Amino acid sequence: QVQLKESGPGLVQPSETLSLTCTVSGFSLTSYSVSWVRQPSGKGPEWMGRMWYDGDTAYNSALKSRLSISRDTSKNQVFLKMNSLQTDDTGTYYCTRDVAGSSDWGQGVMVTVSS
Amino acid sequence: DVVLTQSPATLSVTPGERISLSCRASESVDTYLHWYQQKPNESPRLLIKYASQSISGIPSRFSGSGSGTDFTLSINGVELEDLSIYYCQQGNSLPFTFGSGTKLEIK
């Protein structure tokens, strides 16, 4: 059974760095790509970036200067780090397994950027 | 970036109706277009992949069509459980953009 679970702090101070972890089970990170998608409350999703199955990465150009995605295949984890957070980075952050589009989603983690 | 424009923004429906939702791309995405359903306080769920391919476990009343820049999601006989927001996403070119969604509500 494919599962993805996001974890990380619910509250981040403005200008600080967000660190999130996606822990997966039921599939191998060396066989499937994983994306990060975020969604501000009441708005549509935004694709942030992807960790390809071969270890390569791709980023949304709008976030590329602030975003880094990495992985630890031995722990079945994919990591997101984004710096210089502002209030408009508030929202729910999801990791997804990509087969055709985002075929499987985690439950999401709500992140609030506030002092 | 490819811009996906979904219409209408909101659609009022009567249970049992056949309805169509539109997604228009600012440039061709071939058939790399996927549809998602999102219910309140839930994660999005993949409904249709590659414009028209069905997904295991998704009711057969959902279908998709189109290629290039114009795509349609159809629901043949809307049920109350279908009241959700529907998003399209293109997977043809980076970044893999989403549309702004169509919200189904009861008439």
pLDDT in tens, A19-63: 999 999 999 999 999 999 999 999 999 999 999 999 999 999 999
CB A102 to CB B95 under 8 A?
no
pLDDT in tens, B70-106: 999 999 999 999 999 999 999 999 999 999 999 999 8
Number of helices (H), then strands (E), belonging to chain B: the values are 0, 10
Q: Is A51 exposed, middle or buried (0-12, 13-18, 19+ CB in 10 A)?
A: buried
A49, closest residue in chain B (CA to CA):
B95
Q: Of how many residues is chain B composed?
A: 107
CB A47 to CB B100 under 8 A?
no
Calculated CA dihedral for residues B89, B90, B94, B97, nearest 10 degrees = -30
- Rounded Cα–Cα distance for residues B77 and A42 (Å): 27
pLDDT-derived band at B107 (thresholds 50, 70, 90) equals confident
B53, closest residue in chain A (CA to CA):
A100
